[in-house]
Structure 1
Amino acid sequence: MLHPSCRCLPSLLAGLLLVLAVAAGAPTMAQEGAAPPAETSAEQMDDLIRTLEDDAERARLIEQLRLLAGARAAADDTPARYWDSLGATVLAYLSAQSAAIGEQANEVAAAVAELPSLLAWIGDELDSPAAQARWRDVLTNLAIIVGSSLAGLWLVALPLRRRRKALERRATETALGRVLVNLAAVTITLVPLVVFALVAYVALTLIDPRQTTRIVVLAFVNGILVRGIIVAAARVVLSPTAGSRRLLALGDETAAYLYVWSRRLATIGVFGWVVAETGLVLGMTDGARDALLDLVGLLIAGMLMVLVAQNRRTLADALQRPRHGRPVGVLRRRFAEIWHVLAFAYIVVVYGIWLLDIDGGAAFALRATVLSALVLLAVLALFAGMDRMMTGGLAFGDDLKAQFPGLEARANRYLPLLVRAVKAVVVVVAGLAVLEAWDLGGFAFLSSDAGRGVAGRVTSIAVALLLAVVVWEAISGFVERRLSGVDEDGNPIAQSSRARTLLPLLRKAAFVVLMTFIALIVLSEIGVNIAPLLAGAGIVGLAVGFGAQTLVKDIITGLFILIEDTIAVGDVVEVGGHSGLVEALSLRTISLRDLSGSVHTVPFSEVTTVLNRTKDFSFYVMDIGVAYREDADQVIEVLKQLGAEILEDPAYAQQILEPIEILGVDAFADSAVIIKARIKTKPIKQWFVGREFNRRMKRRFDELGIEIPFPHMTLYFGEDKKGEAPPAHLRFDADAAALLAPKSKAARPAKAASGD
């Protein structure tokens, strides 16, 4: 079986195809031409001429032909309409083919029945003195001519063997070098065969044997030449002892294995045919010769089945092995599981065609097999070249990668997709070529109306896909450039929240729209009527519009909010009675996270008013309350000093956009005078700056003795017209005092002591 060291699956397939091609050629040598048509006799031609020359006879003949034509038309009126149908045509074809195959099967059975006659002929030849003399003459001349030819071959081959071994030891790295070395190897291999043929024909001319002996010797000489050419071709292609000049990427053991099988099949096929044909010359019956050829074909078919069975697991493992890090596809995995079944079926079908001697079947099978093998080899070679180009030919240098890190990924973004598309086209063309090789009308289908229609639809789909890719790439590139833009110094440009929110949504919406249009175009091109689909989509949309009005309202409101840039990710807003930091925006909802960490998901349909606290900039507004006895001007001056001090702190100065703004005395509260001020900051930084300002203000007010009043109540009894306050009369109730005694200071230590 094949060794696991096989380095490349295409090369393994190529080697197996080479062996199958060698085997397919042998049985076709026995294929006979079709029987010539029967000839018209001279008497019949003379009668027809005399009838046409006589006017009366000619008129009578025309009348008879008219009557026959009318009767035939009347009789065949209904069957003519019947045979026009496709099913009847197929049945008629199958019936005719079944009859032909039945006749061929009878001939095969007759040939098998001739096997006893083969044994009887051999016995007669051994018993007959004349046959013995003929055999002695044939074998003697055959030994002399073939022996002298082989001696000449060996005399020439021995000096060339050292040259051939030197070529085998010569290492070549380039493909051109391997081709040149193999051309030299072909020359060295064919020279001894040429010498063999020259010696054989010269010896045959000098000896000048009888006609029967000459035919037998020529058959064996030509068989040896054909077998030698086949073996030489297999040796050059497989190079079992010279891996450096091997055209196929095979391991040494695998190449030797395939070479051995090529020699076996060539030897059995060629010499089996030679023996059968020479036996016919020497007196073997036609039936015995056909039976012998059937046995040779059966032996070759059995050997091929053994070859397939030996490599069933190895080739399946090679087919299922991932290549270039890509997983194995479903079709390839299934083919790996059943490839041997297909190979067995192919061998049986080809052998059946040859065995039944279908007119032109063997030659047709050989031609179709060789052409299919060549097409497959060309496809494998093209795929290998494309993969090699992808891995090495289009790679970027290290300097270019270092200078432009993202250039290679951008330049090769759609290259794998393009390679897959080209491979798909190659596979389609190869499939058509294989169908054409088997006379199934591959390329003829393209020239038909149906083929042109299919080609036009495929072209339309390909153009639509190409345009969709171009549009998608333009939109995606625009979004990526906007989101990852850099300045002249290479520093990233900070994007607005609106851009970070809308651009990804734009890309998603473009993807959905493009996929929808592509799906409709593809369905239309493959023959599906999309009008009902569009009508159904309209009805579904209408039903969804009525049944999901809230959803539609959510989407429309959200779309306008996003377009108007009312809210963006990172803002602090209040919507629908909820407030917090905007974490995410979709076309339907807004997600807020409040100060405690809770997430609020608010549908846009509930948003009637939006309060954005961090739009472009923010203000920290302060209502500072001081006691009525404090000097308002002094307090305002202290606030200005605190505003100047906080601007000198780098940690806070970069967050403040403008100095503190004192708006003045704003209101008189119950126990304080309210002075209003504000600080303009960057978005979301107002609380950070305001808390620090409050800390400093509390500390400065404590230092200066500025009172920040707390709520208290003052009792005012009023004044008379003279400006004197009336006296306040107080009365103490002893009973009330006794009730309050446990709560007095004197009672507290006693209560504490009793508690211990």
Structure 2
Amino acid sequence: MTMAFSNKNLLEARANMRRMIANAMVFLDDLPKSLKAASPDGTAWWLVIALVTAVGGLIAGHYMFRLVTRWGRDHFRALYDENEQKRSGKLAYLLARAGWMLLSAGIMFATAILVAVIFDTGHEPTRATIFIVVSTYIGYRVLRGVVFWNFFAPTSPAHRLVELDDAQAQRVFRHWAVALAIGALIIGLCRWIQILALKDGPSGASMDIVNADAHSLAFIVGLLICAAMLALLAVVHKQDLRIIILGKGDPAQKPAWLKTIAFLAVPLLLLYLALAWFVSSVRLTLGLPGGYIPVLAPIIVFVAAIFAYAVASYLIEIVYERRAAAHLRREEMKLQAEKQAWERAQAADEMMSEMSEDMRDMIEEGGEMTVMRTTPEPSTAIRPYFPAFKPFFENVVQATILVVSAGELARLWGIDIGREGGHPLAAALDILLAVIVAASAYRTVNGYIDHRIVEEGGTLDDQPSNPGEGDSEGGKGQSRLATLLPIFRNVLISAIIAIGAMVVLANLGVDIGPLFAGAGVIGIAIGFGAQTLIRDIFSGAFFLIDDAFRKGEYIEIDNVKGVVEKISMRSFQLRHHLGAVHTVPFGEIHQLTNYSRDWVMMKLPLRLTYDTDVEKVRKLIKKLGQQLLEDEVVGPLFLQPLKSQGVYKMEDSAMIVRVKFMTRPGDQFVTRKVVYAAIRDLFEKEGVRFAHREVTVRLADGEKASELSPAQKEAIAGSVRSAIDEEDTGDKSAGKSTTPAL
């Protein structure tokens, strides 16, 4: 049905238009004669009988329509919720109401036809007129009540899906109802003209041509009126149309492409209506079939698209509401299990508190490396459900409906977009669909992985990491999943881009088969020429499979150390605690030391005087450890309570008592500060004195300190300082994790 607008066709259309106008005048002049010719008794009373019968049938059908709708309203009133908030509930109500109204319209049509059959006279023009009146009115009722009444929902604000207030929705619906009524009247008149065929005409003119020309000209004028009404509606309600397109939220925050569509919607619609009416007029003038379709095609496609989108959206909403309900049940069961575990832990603590001190010491003896898992108080907050893939499915449904609607609109215009011909429009629609799906998949994968990383307690790549407070001091390591997810993201995004690019190239006419073969050859060449790269990638894969390190952990590789900040396919970055960033290829790793895995044992030496009661210190430290465990802030940070290890070293000026505790990597900094401060306050309160470093200097016999010169005193002080420094150096060389003593 594709028509080429050549000069020859346009000139022919102009000549035919002149003929059609002349023949239409002939048709109008002979219209009374045609009415009498169609009558069995030579009068025009048959038309009155047909109209009365059709109106009577519609009145009876309208009565049945009201009975059915009233019965449905009474029996399904429970489905209506004036405070409905869920989208699935709104869609379910609107779809159910549309279906019931469609059923009522069908009953109305059947009732009207039954009345026509009862009063049938056997006259064909009468039958045709009755059918045209009834079917046209029923079509108007379906569009008005089933489609636009539910789309704008002027009396149901709680179920309205478009962003219009009550006054706007009622005004738009009222204007559309008027336009539909006028359009239905015009189409009905154009259809009725077909049954008034002149049998003979003046000057020997062919009555077939006169009738066809009159019918075609009637459609041309009718389509012009319909196009003008649609254009007037678009101009009058341009602001409402903009609100519908932009949807909920602040218009300034909407994406640029959506704001562009909202801005160009009215001009594009006016341009389409003008072009559609011109094409329809030329087609009807040249006698081509389907000439009236281009103007009415948008309404046809709109109705089908709205129904398809409503059904698909309803199914998506139902699926995700059930998933949200299942998630809520799992969270409630999890909270219940945490509450029971906390109650058991509280009961165990009470049992321990009721035991004697000797019994507790006996139970705790031998638990040097036992990790005490603290049970936090259960939270009442439920983790909200995150429908990560719901926007993706919604975008895919919208894109599919958009592309299919555009294809159907082109088909109604007579454009053959079959796959065999490789039509450019078909390729463009496929490319558009592929780009939208790929972009939606890209955003969905990014959003889902970011959500899972945060849910696992990890940090995103653009968030700074904690490099620790000092040398060999690591931060908190993230979970294994949070470490691997960024790599999975890179793989998935690469696959999405590759598949999308192949689909686009295939629709552009590029044969992608040789590309795969070429990629294989290039891959072999790269494999030989980039063996180091391949080694890095495979080494990294095995390191990650072995779970040697995770993002956020403090590790040491040869002379390089720092917090793992970012991991890629072939290397990773370490952030030193002084700020430097080291990039280390996986293939260069020969030995790796992880300072942040599972737990950290902190041992703090305390310098006490020789007159200190060691047993008293042990009891004080143990009591302090229990108090710290009960602290709401630092208590959950301990994996083992603070304990005393007794005297482990004797010096000239002090005995060294060491205390220890276990905590998670990264928490040792906070707990160490708290422990030091608590021990200082406790010892000051209990009268336990810290020993200061002392060096005894013996003078030669007969010499007194008061007789030394300033130079001699400075020399003696320097020697003392050297001795203290040598002692400190020996302590540090004994182990890297030695902590300075109080």
Fold shared, TM-score > 0.5 on shorter chain: yes
1:229 aligns with 2:151: no
Give 3-state SS (helix, strand or coil) of 1:239's partner: helix
Matched to 2:177, the amino acid is A
Aligned match for 1:261, one of 180, 183, 205: 183
Q: 1:676 aligns with which of 656, 659, 676?
A: 656
Identity %: 9
2:268 aligns with 338
Is contact 2:605-2:656 (8 Å) kept? yes
Q: Is 1:163 matched with 2:139?
A: no
1:306 maps to 2:228 = yes
* Aligned mate of 1:509, from 464, 478, 487: 487
Aligned pairs for 1:164-243 within 5 A: 164-170=61-67, 171=70, 172-173=72-73, 177-190=100-113, 198=121, 201=123, 222=125, 226=128, 228-239=130-141
Higher RCO (C-alpha 8 Å, min separation 6)? 1
**Alignment partners' CA distance in 2, 1:431 and 1:355:** 26
Cα-to-partner distance string for 1:65-116 (whole Å, 9 max, x where unaligned): xxxxxxxxxxxxxxxxxxxxxxxxx9xx97xx84752672474377379689
- For the 8 Å contact 1:571–1:612, the answer to whether it is kept is yes
Residues in 2 aligned to 1:141 and 1:452: alpha-carbon distance in whole angstroms: 49
- The question of 1:421 aligning with 2:407 is answered no
Displacement after TM superposition at 1:255 (Å): 2.7
Is 2:449 aligned against 1:523?
Answer: no
Deviation of the 1:418 alpha carbon: 3.1
Quote the Cα distance in structure 1 between the aligned partners of 2:145 and 2:441.
Answer: 48
Partners of 1:498 and 1:562 within 8 A in 2: no
Match of 2:644 in 1: 660
CA separation in 1, counterparts of 2:623 and 2:706?
A: 59
Distance 1:651 1:510, change over 3 A: same
Q: Report how far residue 506 of structure 1 moved.
A: 1.5
Quote the residue 1:689 is aligned against.
675
- The answer to whether residue 261 in structure 2 is matched with residue 281 in structure 1 is no
| Secondary structure of the corresponding residue to residue 716 of structure 1 | coil
Deviations, residues 409-452 of structure 1 (Å, cap 9, x unaligned) = 86954344335435544555555555555554334x25989999
Q: Indicate conservation of the 8 Å contact 2:618/2:643, yes or no.
A: yes
CA distance in 2, matches of 1:557, 1:398: 37
SS in structure 1 at match of 2:291: helix
What 5-or-longer segments of structure 1 have no aligned partner?
Answer: 1-89, 126-133, 202-220, 485-495, 594-598, 627-631, 719-724, 732-756
Q: How many Å separate the matches in 2 of 1:386 and 1:572?
A: 51
Distance 1:471 1:241, change over 3 A: closer
Residue 679 of structure 1, CA deviation = 1.3
Given that residues 327 and 385 in structure 2 are in contact (C-alpha distance below 8 angstroms), is that contact kept between their aligned partners in structure 1? no
1:354 to 274, 284, 300: 284
1:219-277: CA deviation from partner (whole Å, max 9, x where unpaired) = xx83x755543332232233399959998656466334412331134325644x677x5
- 1:31 paired residue number: none
RMSD between aligned alpha carbons? 6.6
Q: 1:712 to 1:422 in 2, by over 3 A?
A: closer
AA of the residue aligned to 1:641? K
Structure 2 CA distance, aligned partners of 1:391 and 1:694?
61
Classify 1:234/1:440 alpha carbon distance in 2 versus 1 (closer, same or farther; 3 Å): same
Q: SS at the partner of 1:679?
A: strand
Q: Aligned-pair distance for 1:516?
A: 1.6
Please tell me whether the aligned partners of residues 240 and 256 of structure 1 are also in contact (alpha carbons under 8 angstroms). no
Structure with bigger helix share is: 1
Work out which of the residue numbers 619, 630, 646 in structure 2 matches 1:644: 619
Deviation of 1:501 after TM superposition, in Å, equals 5.7
Q: Is the CA contact 1:241–1:256 (under 8 Å) kept in the aligned structure 2?
A: no
How far off is 1:620 after superposition?
3.5
Specify whether residues 517 and 197 from structure 1 end up closer, same or farther in structure 2 by C-alpha distance, changes over 3 A only.
same
Larger Cα Rg: Structure 1 or Structure 2?
1
1:387/1:566 CA distance change after superposition, 3 Å:
closer
- Give, in angstroms, the shift of residue 662 of structure 1: 3.9
SS at match of 1:680: strand
Q: Residue 108 of structure 1: which of 9, 13, 16 is its match?
A: 16
Residue in structure 2 matching 1:716, options 699, 702, 717: 699
Mean CA deviation greater in 142-151 or 240-249: 240-249
Please, which of 607, 620, 624 is the counterpart of residue 603 of structure 2?
Answer: 620
CA distance, structure 1, for counterparts of residue 440 and residue 113 of structure 2 = 53
Instruction: Give the count of matched residue pairs.
Output: 557
1:559-638 alignment to 2 at 5 Å? 569=552, 600-603=579-582, 616-622=599-605, 624=607, 626=609, 632=610, 634-635=611-612, 638=613
Gaps of 5+ in 2: 74-96, 153-172, 333-381, 459-473, 630-634, 709-742
| Distance in 1 between residues matched to 2:495 and 2:628, nearest whole Å | 54
User: Given the two structures, how large is their TM-score scaled by the length of structure 1?
Assistant: 0.54
- Report matched runs for 1:446-461 at 5 Å: 446=420
In structure 2, what residue type is equivalent to 1:644? K
Aligned counterpart, 1:442: 417
CA distance in 2, matches of 1:372, 1:465: 27
Equivalent-residue separation in structure 2 for 1:241 and 1:99 (angstroms) = 39
What code does the residue aligned with 1:618 have? M
Alpha-carbon distance change, 143 to 198 in structure 1, aligned in 2, over 3 angstroms: closer
Q: Do the aligned partners of 2:140 and 2:181 also contact (CA within 8 Å) in 1?
A: yes
Q: Name the SS of the counterpart of 2:136 in structure 1.
A: helix
